[in-house]
């Protein structure tokens, strides 16, 4: 029996799914669509910010992870980012060479390292992100506290579902 060769073309019905976004019907549909728009916009903003300081998008995101979660082992960074440990090592090599991070002995495990940010070098990034964070805080200030509590719970729920952290 000869196995049929699978077509590389998507069926016509699937083509529509890949090229269009259905009109939202429910509030959940609208939220999912708005999240996608926000993520796309944030990726382009982060790409431009990374380019301004001579970093790749991956390197910039690695810095964000260290800012958000604090010093970490390369293995922990791999778990948070979904990168391989080899990919993390390559990114950390670039960041160390550029002066953004330090690798220090891990006091809890002498076989591993802890990656920390170099504050002086990262000040340049604060200027880039400061304006957008200030504008975000201004916009959030227009919302009632109960709405902010819902937004916080929503983002915490998403983060926990995706990372467990």
Provide the residue-wise pLDDT of the chain in tens; the chain has 165 residues: 555 555 555 555 555 566 888 888 899 999 999 999 999 999 999 999 999 999 999 999 999 999 999 999 999 999 989 999 999 999 999 999 999 999 999 999 989 999 999 998 888 888 889 989 999 999 999 999 999 999 999 999 998 887 766
What is the rounded CA–CA span in Å between residue 88 and residue 104? 16
Beta bridge partners of 113: 105
Q: What pLDDT, on a 0 to 100 scale, did the predictor assign at position 8?
A: 57
Distance separating alpha carbons of residues 55 and 48, to the nearest angstrom = 10
Predicted confidence at residue 23, as pLDDT, reads 87
Q: Is the dihedral of CA 40, 44, 45, 50 positive or negative?
A: positive
Judge residue 92's burial from the number of C-beta atoms within 10 Å of its C-beta, 0-12 exposed, 13-18 middle, 19 or more buried: buried
CATH class of the domain comprising 28-47+54-163: mainly alpha
Q: What angle do CA 56, 138, 26 make, to 5 degrees?
A: 80
- Nearest 5°: the CA angle 96, 92, 45 is 95
Instruction: Report yes or no on whether pTM surpasses 0.85.
Output: no
For residue 155, which phi and psi values (nearest 5 degrees)? -65, -35
Largest CA distance in the chain: 67
pLDDT of residue 96: 97
pLDDT computed for residue 117 by the predictor: 96
Give the Cα separation of 125 and 63 in Å (integer): 10
Per-residue pLDDT at 14 = 55
pLDDT of residue 136: 94
């Amino acid at each position: 029996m000869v196995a049929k060769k699978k077509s590389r073309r998507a069926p016509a019905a699937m083509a529509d799914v890949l090229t269009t976004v259905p009109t939202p019907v429910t509030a959940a549909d609208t939220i999912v669509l708005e999240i996608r728009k926000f993520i796309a916009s944030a990726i382009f903003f982060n790409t431009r910010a990374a380019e301004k300081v001579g970093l790749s998008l991956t390197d910039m995101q690695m810095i964000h992870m260290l800012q958000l979660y604090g010093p970490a082992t390369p293995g922990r960074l791999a778990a948070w980012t979904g990168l391989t440990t080899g990919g993390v090592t390559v990114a950390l090599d670039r960041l160390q060479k550029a002066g953004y991070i330090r690798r220090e002995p891990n006091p809890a495990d002498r076989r591993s390292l802890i990656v920390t940010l170099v504050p002086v070098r990262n000040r340049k990034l604060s200027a880039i992100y400061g304006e957008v964070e200030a504008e975000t805080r201004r916009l959030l200030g227009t919302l009632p506290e109960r709405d902010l509590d819902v937004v916080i719970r929503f983002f915490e729920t998403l983060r926990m579902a995706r990372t467990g952290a």
